[in-house]
């Protein structure tokens, strides 16, 4: 707005005319002296334009600025709420980290459907599936036992093969900041470093039931339903140790060895005291 020479009345200094203004300051010549005011704030209560058209335009400017102020206040308030929520989540996360106690069966074996086999090893995350019944039907399963010490074992059965031929496709530690109790979407992301994908030849030699047995049916190889099974920490250590032994390429073997050592450290397992695999297949 061009307000130069416009007549105004100030509720304290009387009548004057505008001699200068910009986006933040307006200068007015009164009878005895010039005065500077904050623009356009001064028009809200203290200053009135004589020209009605100019006054109407100024009212629109003030309304627009007031709306922008409210939007900015709302934005800051929402940002403040978001920061508070993040802080609460961080404190909750730190509390879970600090108070975590190792569960003896905090590893997860995951059933990969044919369409998931490549995705799981390339995207390095799995979905725990959804709840089938009850009040929470349709919501993602919450993998409550998984923590920093946990690993996800990817398994599959070739079409037409029996359950005893379930193969291990790969394995990864969960993301270093993952806490199953706080997982809302059911997705379990991988650690940034500790992840191993087996070749087809390696996978054929790594049968799941060599290591796993069900407490309720210790002599049967049945998965029944569900996308995953929790299983013993020591069993996962056995699997990792066998992967180390299986690999002939020095670099790949070193990666597997580092994974194995990290896993043992996180699960307080002495690598010299790991028993031989004793899954269902070993008793047949």
What pLDDT, in 10s, does the model give residues 132-155? 888 989 999 999 999 889 999 999
Please state whether the peptide bond connecting residue 40 to the residue before it is cis, i.e. omega within 30 degrees of 0: yes
- The pLDDT value given to residue 1: 74
127 CB neighbour count, 10 Å cutoff: 17
- pLDDT value at residue 241: 97
d(CA 17, CA 34): 9
Write down the pLDDT at residue 132: 87
pLDDT value of residue 89 = 64
Partner residues linked to 13 by β-bridges: none
Q: Which residues contact 111 (CB under 8 A, 6 or more apart)?
A: 155, 156, 223, 226, 227, 228
Q: What is the pTM of this model?
A: 0.66
Q: How far is CA 141 from the centre of its chain?
A: 16
Closest CA relative to residue 89, chosen from 183, 173, 175: 183
Which parts of the chain sit beneath pLDDT 70? 89-90, 92-100, 119-120
- In this prediction, residue 93 carries a pLDDT of 56
What pLDDT score does 65 carry?
87
At residue 230, the pLDDT reads: 94
How far, in Å, CA of 129 to CA of 43, rounded?
62
Q: Work out the end-to-end distance of the chain between its first and last CA atoms, rounded to an integer number of angstroms.
A: 91
Question: Do residues 150 and 106 make contact, with C-beta atoms less than 8 angstroms apart?
Answer: yes
- Burial class of residue 150 (count of CB atoms within 10 Å of its CB; 0-12, 13-18, 19+): buried
Give pLDDT, residue 185: 93
Identify the helix (H) or strand (E) that includes residue 58.
helix 52-99
Task: Using only the alpha carbons of the chain, give its radius of gyration.
Answer: 34
């Amino acid at each position: 707005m061009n307000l130069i020479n416009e007549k105004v009345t100030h509720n304290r200094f009387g009548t004057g005319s505008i001699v200068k203004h910009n986006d933040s300051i307006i200068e007015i010549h009164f009878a005895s002296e010039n005065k500077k005011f904050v623009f356009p704030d001064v028009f809200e209560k203290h200053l009135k334009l004589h020209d009605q058209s100019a006054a109407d335009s100024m009212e629109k400017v003030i309304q627009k600025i007031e709306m922008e102020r409210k939007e900015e206040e709302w934005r800051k308030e929402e940002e403040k709420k978001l920061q508070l929520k993040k802080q609460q989540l961080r404190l909750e996360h730190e509390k879970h980290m600090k108070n975590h106690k190792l569960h003896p069966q905090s590893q997860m074996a995951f059933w990969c459907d044919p369409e998931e086999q490549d995705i799981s090893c390339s995207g390095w995350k799995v979905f725990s599936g959804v709840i089938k019944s009850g009040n929470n039907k349709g919501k993602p399963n919450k993998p409550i036992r998984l923590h920093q010490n946990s690993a996800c074992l990817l398994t599959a059965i070739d079409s037409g093969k029996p359950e005893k031929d379930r193969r291990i496709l790969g394995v990864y530690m969960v993301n270093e900041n993952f806490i199953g109790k706080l997982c809302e979407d059911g997705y379990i992301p991988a650690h940034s470093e500790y992840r191993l994908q087996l070749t087809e030849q390696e996978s054929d030699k790594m049968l799941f039931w060599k290591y796993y047995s069900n407490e309720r049916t210790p002599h049967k190889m049945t998965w029944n339903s569900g996308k995953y099974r929790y299983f013993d920490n020591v069993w996962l250590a056995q699997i990792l140790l066998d992967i180390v032994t299986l690999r002939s390429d020095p670099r790949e073997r070193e990666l597997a060895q580092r994974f194995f050592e990290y896993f043992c450290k996180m699960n307080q397992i002495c690598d010299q005291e790991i028993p031989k695999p004793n899954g269902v297949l070993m008793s047949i």
